[in-house]
Amino acid sequence: MGILTNLILDYWLYGVTIAFGYILAILLYDTKNDKNRAGVAKNDETDERYAFPDSTSDAKDKEEADGGLNLENADTRVDHEAGKEHIPFTIERLSKAEMTRRSQEFYQEMNKRRSVRFFSDEPFPQEVMDNIIRTGGTSPSGAHTQPWTYVVVKSPEIKKEIREIIEEEEEVNYRRRMGDKWVQDLACIGTDWNKPYLEIAPYLVIVLKQSYGIAPDGSRLVHYYNEISTSISVGLVLAAIQEAGLVTLTSTPLNAGPRLRKLLNRPINEKVMLLLPVGYPAPDATVPALKRKPLEEFMTAI
């Protein structure tokens, strides 16, 4: 018999025990991981089930329990008592002709809106800015949690710091993460990491979502659908900017969020979602010749 056979005969039992330990470990480990993985899959929205990207798993359980939640009106720990009392609701009644005219006019006004990246440095009244943000505060929100924070920056020093942070991150994005071809393409439409408008526009509005709230006793409060609610609020802000005869650029300061949050001294439960410079357009402002889809391409009536 060869040496190998001898070795096997002498030590096979050790091999078996190692294998036994190995299998035991995997079994124990798998059980533990399955539980973790189940949690992840639940949040994952493979393709059909509605996902709750906004919520921690705690929040998710609460949301599931509150099935068919309405983005307002619903019962909540935040404003529980107030929600119980109902009051009469009336709205000014418009004639059919009047509502047709108004809906047409409002559409035409909103349809003039374009995202603009060329700003004038001409200031406008703080009161206008306040009214614009107030309008955002009329948005519905999951369980009336109003999970948005608007930071309005007028200070030239802070605007300069914001520009530095965003351009630094942008340059990394452009140089390291994008192909040369793409960078060239973007150059054609005037998009690169230089964002002088961040210092030129009289106001920068940084929109943060409150991922969760903090109760007086320090415990976390669930903020249902905080990202959807904050985005709807931004829709109202965009309408208000347009109504005021001003322009903005709806932008997502990618990868700069954490640094911006710290610069603006916002708490850890808030996350930067969007940045909106607001002002008059520059006299020589241009926009890309983009078209919008006609109604029949995004609406179906049945």
- Residues 51 to 70 in contact with its own copies, rule: CB under 8 A: 51, 53-54, 63-70
Nearest CA among 55, 60, 80, 58 for reference residue 210: 55
CA separation, residue 296 to residues 26, 113, 256, 300 (Å): 56, 20, 38, 7
Give long-range contacts, CB 8 A cutoff, 24+ apart: 95-104: none
Residue with smaller CB distance to its own copies, 79 or 164: 79
Q: According to the binding rule CB under 8 A, does residue 21 interact with its own copies? A: yes
- As measured in angstroms, the least distance from the Cβ of 6 to its own copies is 18
Q: Is residue 243 exposed (0-12), middle (13-18) or buried (19+ Cβ within 10 Å)?
A: middle
- DSSP state string for 215-274: -TTS-EEE-TTHHHHHHHHHHHHHHHHHHTT-EE--B--TTTHHHHHHHTT--TTEEEEE
- Residues 262 to 291 in contact with its own copies, rule: CB under 8 A: 264, 268, 271-274, 280-281, 284-291
- As measured in angstroms, the least distance from the Cβ of 133 to its own copies is 5
- Residues 143 to 202 in contact with its own copies, rule: CB under 8 A: 144, 146, 148-155, 158, 166, 169-170, 172-174, 177-179, 182, 185-186, 188-191, 193, 195
CB 247 within 8 A of CB 166: no
Residue with smaller CB distance to its own copies, 1 or 35: 35
Length of the chain: 302
Residue with smaller CB distance to its own copies, 182 or 219: 182
Q: According to the binding rule CB under 8 A, does residue 38 interact with its own copies? A: no
- Residues 93 to 112 in contact with its own copies, rule: CB under 8 A: 93-94, 96, 98-100, 102-104, 106-107, 110-112
CB 61 within 8 A of CB 129: no
- As measured in angstroms, the least distance from the Cβ of 1 to its own copies is 24
- Residues 196 to 235 in contact with its own copies, rule: CB under 8 A: 225, 227-229, 231-235
